[in-house]
Every structure is written in C-alpha cells, then in structure tokens.
A and B are shown apart, each in its own frame.
Chain A
Amino acid sequence: MKVTVKLFATFRAGRFGEQTKEYSPGTTVGDILNELSLPLDEIGATLINHRHVEEDQLLKDGDTLSIFPLVGGG
C-alpha cells in the first residue's frame, strides 16, 4: 500500500518534507515513527488525513500521515 508521510519543522532535518512510498499492510503509525527514528517524547501531533491518531493506528492505502514536533518555549 502507498502511504504519504509529511514531516514538519525540525523533523525535516536530515529526513524529508514529504515522501510517498510502499509500506506493507499492517504498518502502524508507531512503525513509521520508529523507521524514521522520531523519538516519542518529541512528538507534538500525528494526524492521518487531518484526524489525530495514536501510535497503534493502522495505515491504509492512500493515507497521508502528518507528523509535528512538540513546541513549548516562551
């Protein structure tokens, strides 16, 4: 299945802004975070097609997963 992953802000450094590629059925959001070495404690939001999802969410063909880092300074 084809999934598009969009990374935001600091997560782009050394990775990419947007990438569409083939994933095997059963891939979860957590698997992709792992694959991209994105530490869980730095994640601000994960959305599939503009809907918030958790790590255990399964991906479907055609999904767009957006991953934002946490921002907390003032």
Chain B
Amino acid sequence: MEEVRTFLLKHAEEDLLPWKHQSFASTHFGLSIGQVERIALEAGLLPSRYQRNRKTISLANQLRLFRSHAAVIGCGGLGGYIIEQLARLGVGRITAVDPDVFEEHNLNRQLYSSPATLGRPKVEAAHKRVLEINPAVTLYPLKVAFSKTNGFDMLQGVDVVIDALDSIPVRLELAEVSAEVNAPLVHGAIGGWYGQVATQFPGENTLRKIYSRNTDGKGVEKGLGNPSFTPAVIASLQVAEACKVLIGQGVPLTNRKLHVNLLEMEVNEIPY
C-alpha cells in the first residue's frame, strides 16, 4: 500500500492525480481503479476528473462521497439520470434496483435506453455505462422488483436511498424499509410537466404524509406520460439532495416538498 501511495504522490501534479497514472497504478499494482482512488484520496490527492468539483466539494468530502453507498430504486426515467450523476460525482458504491428491460416507449426519456439496449435489463445498461464513465465507482445491479420483503437486505448499510420508482404503493414500502435500516430517503416523482422532490430522514414520516390521501393510485403521470426534460430536472434535484445528505452540508428538503411546474415555471413549497 505504501508503495502505491509513494507512486501516486510522485506522479501527482500538485495535488491532482491524472487519469493516466491512476489507470497505470491500477494495472501495475493489480488493484481496482476504485482501490487506487481510495489510496489517492486518503493521501490527499484528488483524481483529476474531480478538479471542477473541488470548489463545491472539498477533498475531504470527495473522500466521504467515495466511501459512501447510495441505493437507487428504479432505473427508468429518474433512475438513469440519478445513476449518471452519482457516478460522475464520485459516489463510491451504487446499488441499482429495477426488474425491467428497456422497451420502445422508454426511448423518449430514459438515459440508458437506445435501440441497441431494447430488451436488455435496465440495471445491466446502468452497470455498463457506469463502468465506462467512472470505473472507480462500483455499481451493484439488482434485476428485481423492490418490495418490503426483499428490501431490508438491499438497503442495510446504505448511506442514502433514492426513490426513482413509478408506483405509489412501492414508494411507501421503500419509505418504511428506509426507516427500518435508518437511512435517509430522497423522494422524487414526475408526471408530464410536473414533478416533486422531498427528503425524509429516519424518524420522519414525510412520504406517508405526501401520499396520505391516495396510497394505491397513480398520479398525473397516468394521463400525461413523461417527456425527456422532467426526469432530468427532478433527478438533478434529488442528486443535489443526496449529495448534501452524504457530505452533511446545506439545508435539506425535510418536512417539506418542492412541487415543480415546468409548464408555467413555478416552484411551490408544501410543508409537511
């Protein structure tokens, strides 16, 4: 380990570690890119890919993100963008859960869908993509439907859970299991021009309150479907929340929900 550390320090440019040296160290010392990234960050070196993060996210927090584990439940419209942004942000471990394969009606918005991935599992496409864009990140693909029965094992030890589901009853199960494993939950939902975001910490009951009137129905998405931009907007707001939860900065969206209307460009806050 000391040998790797010395190598990285020697080849760093000031405190930045260029990709070619990170990649060489991985092959040379027989370590994963992720293992090299951890040694670099612990030695006070920032992999160069994160240099535009650093005024927003300190090196210490970059290490915190690398040591973090996020679970993304649902890999469709919201989930694709969420996984992409978590991986680029440098969150070290991502569990991605979705039982589905890509279908043609996903192509208008789901980031990892393409004619080539039609019929392929969504979690498989996510896995491949993350490996391509940031091989320091480990993505655990789970091609299963999340439920209260299998959820506990999936979420145990996770630092943040991100809701990218398309079903209200399953969302409520996700909120329940997140509370059980003591993990913060970042909720997002979309429909047409509209979307919403909220963050729930263990002990809070926000999701249950948000869906208190209708626990088994569908929302505006039933009649409206989803265009390309709404999932990207809401997913980005969710990743900003997840990032803050992981590094303990800023003011999270707790005990309130943002309701976003892209048609009339209005954002409303609803207290819970």
Establish whether residues A74 and B259, one from each chain, have CB atoms under 8 Å apart when the complex forms.
Answer: no
State which size class the interface on A falls in.
20 to 34
Provide the main secondary structure of the chain A interface.
mixed
Establish whether residues B259 and A8, one from each chain, have CB atoms under 8 Å apart when the complex forms.
Answer: yes
Establish whether residues B214 and A71, one from each chain, have CB atoms under 8 Å apart when the complex forms.
Answer: no
Establish whether residues A8 and B268, one from each chain, have CB atoms under 8 Å apart when the complex forms.
Answer: yes
List B residues 153-192 near A (Cβ within 8 Å).
163-168, 171, 188-192
Q: For residue B240, give the distance in angstroms from its CB to the closest CB of chain A.
A: 18
Establish whether residues B188 and A74, one from each chain, have CB atoms under 8 Å apart when the complex forms.
Answer: yes
Establish whether residues B189 and A47, one from each chain, have CB atoms under 8 Å apart when the complex forms.
Answer: no
State which size class the interface on B falls in.
35 or more
List B residues 60-118 near A (Cβ within 8 Å).
74, 76-79
Interface string of B206-224 (1 = CB under 8 A from A): 0001110110011111011
Q: For residue A71, give the distance in angstroms from its CB to the closest CB of chain B.
A: 4
Name the B residues within 8 Å of A61 (CB-CB): none
Complex: A25 Cα to B196 Cα, angstroms: 34
Establish whether residues A10 and B270, one from each chain, have CB atoms under 8 Å apart when the complex forms.
Answer: no
Complex: A43 Cα to B220 Cα, angstroms: 10
Complex: A9 Cα to B163 Cα, angstroms: 22
List A residues 14-59 near B (Cβ within 8 Å).
17, 40-45, 47, 50-52
Complex: A72 Cα to B74 Cα, angstroms: 13
Complex: A74 Cα to B163 Cα, angstroms: 9
Establish whether residues B79 and A71, one from each chain, have CB atoms under 8 Å apart when the complex forms.
Answer: no
Binding site for A on B (CB under 8 A): 74, 76-79, 163-168, 171, 188-196, 209-211, 213-214, 217-221, 223-224, 226, 231, 259, 261, 263-264, 268, 270-272
Binding site for B on A (CB under 8 A): 8-10, 17, 40-45, 47, 50-52, 68-74
